[in-house]
Amino acid sequence: MTKTVLKIEGMMCEGCVKNVTKALEGVEGVESAAVDLRKGAATVMHSDVPAEKLIGAVVDAGFRASVKKGLFS
């Protein structure tokens, strides 16, 4: 299992969190997605899904995303 942490921009409410979670969990190979509104981040557990595919799912849901770099990624 691989963990990828994404920075998510544009989330304003819990409805946004649900949309991003649904988009990420809809990607084949994603086991789970924990989205945190306050941190503006999503922690995705998956079986070797390319980061570009995860980012694409978030963009398709109407938000901006990038791979989060640093201590918590």
Q: How far does CA 49 lie from the centroid of its chain?
A: 12
List pLDDT tens digits, range 11-66: 999 999 999 999 999 999 999 999 999 999 999 999 989 999 999 999 999 999 99
- What lies within 8 Å, CB to CB, of 45 at 6+ separation is 1, 2, 3, 30, 31, 32, 33
pTM above 0.85, yes or no: yes
Tokens found for residue 5: 């942490």
